[in-house]
Amino acid sequence: MISIENVSKTYHTRLGQRTILDNISFKLARGRNIGILGRNGAGKSTLIRLIAGAERPTSGVIRRDMSVSWPLAFGGAFQTHLTGLDNLKFVCRVYGVDYKPLIPFVEDFTELGVYFREPVMHYSAGMTTRLAFALSMAIEFDCFLIDEAMVVGDQRFHERCHIELFQKRKDRAFILVTHDANSIRMYCESACVLRNGKLIPFATVDEAFEFYEANPN
């Protein structure tokens, strides 16, 4: 179970305090999933960072009784001077997992070839994305945080991510955060809309979809 209880997040800007998330609460049980719809700047990524634990809420409590991934396929966590392999080792050490059995999977999934042992700074954008996704899959979590990662990349990469995440790991919980209502309809069993800092729950995904389409800003 993950429970988000009365969480608010305020940032300081030159024009004073800006409340990005305003008293948000929801729960997610093991094996369940939820989609959160929001327009650009609605605070989707902030919410994901709070749930991931990368930042602290200004007020409120986040409880995690299952293991929660870092934001899926997040490329920023790379040390670009390190090779793909070094990055795999680093992530494995942080999570206490042996990296050696994972090398074949990561090599196969990323299709990096010799570049797997070259510094990440020499990678193309596509290569970096593939590595980021593979590293997220290398560590097994109870709950995955997905921040529009599925939208990037070409069709083939898309399909392979789909297989890894939604087929091989369909017993896991996930939180999918996106502006794209269709992917929520495709993958999620429940949905909320994040709007003006408030999280609006809906009984069905279709209702959330209709509300989202009817309120373009």
**Binding positions for other proteins, rule: CB under 8 A:** 11, 49, 52-56, 61-65, 68, 70-71, 74, 76-79, 81-82, 86, 89-91, 93-96
94 versus 163: smaller Cβ distance to other proteins: 94
The residue (of 65 and 159) whose beta carbon lies closer to other proteins is: 65
The span from the CA of 93 to the CA of 27, in Å, is: 30
Please say which residue, 89 or 185, places its beta carbon nearer to other proteins. 89
* Residue 205: CB minimum distance to other proteins, A: 28
CB-wise, 74 or 116, nearer to other proteins? Answer: 74
For the CA atoms of 81, 165, 155, 210, what is the dihedral angle to 10 degrees? -120
Residue reference for tokens 């997610």: 28
Closest to other proteins by CB, 39 or 89:
89
Tokens of 39: 């327009």
Question: Closest approach of Cβ 204 to other proteins, in Å?
Answer: 31
Q: In terms of CB distance, is 38 or 190 closer to other proteins? A: 38
Q: Give the full edge-to-edge strand order of the sheet including 173-178.
A: 68-71, 143-147, 173-178, 33-38, 191-195, 198-201
Residue 130 Cβ vs other proteins, minimum distance, rounded to whole Å: 18
As measured in angstroms, the least distance from the Cβ of 54 to other proteins is: 5
Provide the minimum distance between the beta carbon of 12 and other proteins in the complex, in angstroms, as a whole number. 9
Closest approach of other proteins to the CB of residue 89, in Å: 7
